Structure 1
């Protein structure tokens, strides 16, 4: 671990303010925030600015939660990010994915046309930093303009988070995840 979570004795008003938009007061501590947020608050200004954007992608996006989680799981696998794989396995289950669908998504495999397109888009964005005209057109048959924008920003943001989490050495928060067969 290159950066550890900020120790509890260093949590101050700036850290509390950085997390206020994402976490209830009782979770604004190193254990309740989890490894990722407790590490990110080492830079409270960045965290305070970033979290509302990330909250939009998680809770305000026009992209259905199931599709969002497929995209994030594919990015997590492509970026080899154990934290994101673990965290979004739990979120994928909550969004209605099965463990088989979650494992398949990480490999880029889907059994439905739209799911396959979303996984292909995540892969293409990872490899090319753009979508081909054919992928964009195929997605546009299923998703509206806002959903397409949310998809691109979701993939890009979770690639950035994976890069940061891998670099910092952030470990999964198994105790904060719902129980499932690991």
Structure 2
């Protein structure tokens, strides 16, 4: 990482900082604090807001785990945020995305997919909803402005709440990936998705 992580366990100097640390540890439990937490805790108020926002996106939406983790993984690929990929690819697999589907998520482009590849991907968890989320995620991440036809494809397979939750997930994890990559949290910038152990 480009700056030192805070010590673990992180020191606190006020009751407010102790409460912030307690909230972050509670959300991570039973896992320990992560390198991302130990970077963010240089600024306890930022770490607290981050924890609340990402906690809501990850655990309080109605979005299916498959769509949520698919969007997060695609953001990680688009931004070369391999620390993010390492944490979320196993969750995407657990949510029903098979190895062939995850291989397609890692691709730069899908223009040249043949019918056989499309069929195999569909059998492996990439149906119409997943493809709509993938394309929407790509445009939000790479272009920012989403084309009308891309939005219409998402709207055709998602209700209004799901649209908002997909959009918030993609936006949130673009924020996460940019923080991770800029500071090289987890020391993954020089690696790729195939260098990550699950």
Quick check: TM above 0.5?
A: yes
Structure 2: unaligned runs, 5 residues or longer: 111-120, 189-195
Could you say if the C-alpha distance between residues 9 and 51 of structure 1 is closer, same or farther in structure 2, counting changes exceeding 3 Å?
Answer: closer
Contact 1:73–1:89 (8 Å) recurs in 2: yes
Which secondary structure state, in structure 2, belongs to the residue aligned with residue 62 of structure 1?
coil
Aligned counterpart, 2:118: none
Q: Distance in 1 between matches of 2:79 and 2:138?
A: 10
Could you say if the C-alpha distance between residues 34 and 71 of structure 1 is closer, same or farther in structure 2, counting changes exceeding 3 Å?
Answer: same
Could you say if the C-alpha distance between residues 33 and 65 of structure 1 is closer, same or farther in structure 2, counting changes exceeding 3 Å?
Answer: same
Q: Distance in 1 between matches of 2:43 and 2:37?
A: 10
Among residues 151, 156, 161, which one is paired with 1:146 in the alignment? 161
TM-score w.r.t. structure 2 length?
0.77
TM-score w.r.t. structure 1 length?
0.83
Aligned counterpart, 2:88: 88
Contact 2:78–2:142 (8 Å) recurs in 1: no
Aligned 1:8-157 pairs, distance under 5 A: 8=8, 10-12=10-12, 13-24=15-26, 32-107=32-107, 111=122, 112-157=127-172
Contact 2:128–2:157 (8 Å) recurs in 1: no
Q: Distance in 2 between matches of 1:137 and 1:26?
A: 36
Q: Runs of 4+ in structure 1 displaced over 6 angstroms? A: none
Structure 1: unaligned runs, 5 residues or longer: 174-179
| Residues 33-83 of structure 1, C-alpha deviations (whole Å, 9 max, x = no match) | 011111111111011112111111111112211001111101000000111
Q: Distance in 2 between matches of 1:96 and 1:172?
A: 28
Q: Distance in 2 between matches of 1:144 and 1:152?
A: 12
Which secondary structure state, in structure 1, belongs to the residue aligned with residue 87 of structure 2?
helix
Give the paired residue count. Answer: 174
